[in-house]
Copies of this chain bind each other. A is one copy, B any other.
């Protein structure tokens, strides 16, 4: 009653409803998971702190916790392989890893292949340039950066695929909890960048997944 699960979301959008953890009691999360478990091969909850994960694992058998990504998942069936290409995820620094892993684990649990490239921020541009080929050949890129968030601008100038930019709350002072990199990404003079909310690795993964799925859908027009 406190939750109306959107069971048709998978049909409409190609992805199941995912539980957003904050503001829900562990009991509420556990109940929603249990109800959803029968309907979907994977049930996920995001933004789960480790202490909450332990409470959930006590109530929900077989629940897996990904601590870096802060995701809980209940896998009741085989995860079907989705899309053809690969989702490449890049971070500017080491401190951006939790957000990047939220994206990576979400994508993997939804059936997509993921490629990781960590800590190649613009202050040492050679680190990025030495992966020029990877970037030039990517199918879809998720670029995760905090502080000044300049990485997506440089990457989008080197890539011919869509770039999803994820600002993170990594930084201090006038980074304003991620507002500064968000503005950088929205104002980018490189084109073809779609931006998501601060720290929203989850949303970036779903968008990347939809891009790969659209590709498959369009292919069928041809064949």
Contacts and interface: CB of A to CB of B under 8 A. Distances in A.
A125 B154 contact: yes
A140 B169 CA distance: 30
Given A2-B94, A139-B217, A174-B179, 18 more contacts: A4-B118, A4-B127, A12-B124, A13-B159, A18-B191, A20-B93, A23-B95, A121-B189, A122-B157, A123-B157, A123-B188, A150-B184, A172-B198, A173-B199, A183-B184, A191-B207, A192-B207, A215-B216
B157 A124 contact: yes
Given A22-B172, A210-B162, A189 B93 contact: yes
A126 interface: yes
Interface string A200-223: 101100110111111111110110
Identical subunits present: 8
Interface residues of A, number: 107
Which 9 residue pairs are nearest across A and B when measured between Cβ atoms?
A: A194-B194, A23-B95, A173-B198, A215-B215, A150-B150, A6-B124, A123-B190, A180-B183, A148-B187
Interface in A96-113: 96-97
Interface string A83-100: 111000000111111000
A55 interface: no
Given A2-B94, A95-B22, A160-B213, A187 B196 contact: no
A193 B95 CA distance: 22
A72 interface: no
Contacts of A202: 191
Contacts of A118: 1-4
A175 interface: yes
